[in-house]
A and B are shown apart, each in its own frame.
Chain A
């Protein structure tokens, strides 16, 4: 490439640059030709057999009911709306699952490194048990063996007449917007701004003079105090509606269906077992010299872990953690086994069956999962770069 002096002029196959270009062009043409051929072949065959193709089916009215929909839905809405509802349900499970699994995974991971024999062994048993049982079995267990064996709505467990636990799910008071809502939101924003400002000022003073400041307690006071002031002045932000048993079921309030609870619980416990091992390996990757240095500075267990070990361990933990998050997002599709209306069961199940257009539906579903996974990866990679060690 650098050898301009002896290089042959013009297009000759003995010139490595020409060869490189030639092969790349051939490959691109081949891939595009392959893609076009497969697409054209599929179209021809579909037409031949009289199977409708195209995306018009998304506008047709759905005609079936859905157990849990985060946006308003009636049976005359289109398949496109069904798709959005399925997507929202998938994202709900994924998000809650990721948050809870990370929390639980970190706790168990650290517990497994504890010098206390009991805690150590309990964590080990947890990890070994839940890592080795297939996730679908765990989901089925939680659903059929735990949630469905709860009493029916008429015999449900009653907490304070506000929360009801039965095999129809967790019925809780439902919130709706009241007069004090927008002032409350404004006050929350103000409180957060105040806290950020306070922390900045406190840090600047600490670095200049070395005087510590009770950031935590003042922050807490601001966070609760300012919104409380808004409630006093403008009234309650939310109006609560209690669930009541009428006839077959509870009416009013919100309900967390047992399918959602079983799925979230099972996925959280399963993924937490993996995250625990990742956390443990991350913490152990930090050289013991760091702990010794921290001890010699007079830092105790808690601050050592929080301020010295874990920030360094995070660099080892984040990449495999991303994989676990992606696994959780994809494992949420197992919900079809228990009837949770997420994207695979609603869209790639019911809609596929009713329209018969398997190729389009599966293509859409796969693209969406790809999009979700790529988003999670991008987010985690950005965080990874931010905490990376900048070496000189």
Chain B
């Protein structure tokens, strides 16, 4: 009898587990609205992109994209919770449903867009891979790095692109891989490796964290394309559109000259039909996305347009001082281009 009871218990438990495990994709928006906040996956500490500040709040351009999504969905940019993920666990966290959106300086590649059950919702930052070396090595170009020891973060596109570059140029190197970018930076400082390689934005960020940033120089070569953007799960079209259009809204706002200071005034009194449509004064474009009418107003008011977010996190006022470069608007010398809201 005891045997039968325990068997029955095990089978019941297993069935319950099995049924609950049959989670349906396609319901992220409902789940987020029921939860009351957006769970956002960010990096474990990359200045300018997602890093805890002195009070423990996560700041950075990736974090601001998540806050913009929350502002669009809830009207409140504070309804976000952040999960700090390293490069190894980021995709599993998103695939399994632990986070709703992954905004973690992740490179958009075909294998990630297709074979993993994930889709990229846009490009937050157009980047490329570079090399950071100590000035006293006397190296001025990446082609002089034959035989060097290179610190790389494990499981990133950097590993693959560096290997391709060195092979294509007939150079040899020894890779040392680490789990977090901080460990790689520490090894560069101690001299374990000659070169630190990563997305150039990360190199500037890491350099600012070193003890003597002026001793290090980023070499001029950019050896690959690294479009970094937010990622969501496949099969969930509503949520995908929301994240995609949040980013586009921020770009459109900058293009139309709408910023956090003038957005409310413009929403009430604009004569420009494009601006009126976007800010909800005309038409019901928010409804198509299942968002409230003033979703763009909330985004720009609480978080800012793309230009403001860039300047705040990566611009001249910050230690990173990164130029807009490729990330300027299409009509300003860069390639950031957003389709219109209409």
Contact = CB atoms under 8 A, between A and B. Distances in A.
A339 B177 contact: yes
Contact of B183 (A65, A339, A350, A352): A339
Given A50-B234, A144-B186, A354-B160, A349 B155 contact: yes
B155 A33 contact: no
B295 to A, nearest CB: 27
Nearest to B146: A247
Interface stretch (A23-31, A174-182, A212-220): A23-31
B81 interface: no
Interface of B: 3-4, 7, 10-11, 14-15, 18, 21-23, 25, 87-88, 91-92, 95, 111-112, 114-118, 137, 145-149, 154-156, 159-160, 162-164, 166-167, 173-179, 183, 186-187, 190-192, 194, 233-235
Contact of A49 (B95, B173, B176): B95
A18 to B, nearest CB: 13
Contact of A356 (B18, B112, B163): B112
11 contacts: A26-B7, A37-B14, A44-B22, A45-B22, A46-B117, A63-B159, A75-B164, A148-B187, A168-B192, A247-B146, A345-B179
Contacts, number: 151
B190 A337 contact: no
Contact of A65 (B14, B159, B187, B235): B159
B22 A34 contact: no
Contact of A41 (B18, B112, B116, B117): B18
Interface string A33-44: 110011001101
Contacts of A50: 114, 116-117, 234-235
A353 interface: yes
A48 interface: yes
B176 A251 contact: no
Given A353-B91, A358-B92, A26 B160 contact: no
Contacts of B146: 247-248
A349 B89 CA distance: 9
Contact of B155 (A52, A258, A352): A352
Contacts of B178: 338-339
Given A246-B147, A345-B154, A356-B115, A51 B95 contact: yes
A251 B146 CA distance: 12
Given A67-B175, A353-B88, 8 more contacts: A27-B3, A41-B21, A50-B116, A65-B174, A67-B177, A336-B154, A345-B154, A356-B91
B71 to A, nearest CB: 28
B120 to A, nearest CB: 14
A142 to B, nearest CB: 13
Interface string A328-365: 00000000111101000100011011111010000000
A167 B173 CA distance: 16
Contacts of A247: 146-147
A9 to B, nearest CB: 24
A249 B147 contact: yes
A353 B14 contact: no
A358 B3 CA distance: 36
A353 B92 CA distance: 8
A53 to B, nearest CB: 10
B260 to A, nearest CB: 37
B234 A49 contact: yes
Contacts of B167: 75
B175 A65 contact: yes
B163 A65 contact: yes
A381 interface: no
A49 B147 contact: no
B147 A251 contact: yes
Contacts of A353: 87-88, 91, 154-156
A149 interface: yes
A209 B247 CA distance: 95
A63 to B, nearest CB: 4
Contact of A51 (B117, B155, B162, B164): B117
Contact of A30 (B10, B114, B117, B176): B10
Given A23-B3, A49-B95, A64-B160, A152 B18 contact: no
A75 B168 CA distance: 12
B150 to A, nearest CB: 8
B233 A63 contact: no
Interface in A240-289: 246-249, 251, 258-259
Given A33-B11, A37-B18, A356-B112, A249 B92 contact: no
Contacts of A27: 3, 7
B148 A248 contact: yes
A63 B163 contact: yes
B163 A75 contact: yes
Nearest to A154: B191
A49 B11 contact: no
Given A63-B163, A65-B174, A356-B91, A52 B191 contact: no
A48 B174 contact: no
Contact of B179 (A67, A144, A251, A336): A336
B154 A45 contact: no
Contacts of A148: 187, 190-192
A167 B154 contact: no
A96 interface: no
Contact of A249 (B87, B174, B175, B234): B174
Interface in A166-205: 167-168
B117 A49 contact: yes
A350 B148 contact: no
A66 interface: yes
Contacts of A34: 10-11, 14
Contacts of A45: 21-23
A90 to B, nearest CB: 16
B187 to A, nearest CB: 7
A45 B233 CA distance: 13
Contacts of B22: 41, 44-45
A248 B194 contact: yes
Contacts of B179: 336-337, 345, 349
Nearest to B235: A49
A251 B173 CA distance: 12
Contact of B154 (A41, A49, A350): A350
Nearest to B160: A63
B163 A248 contact: no
Contacts of B235: 48-50
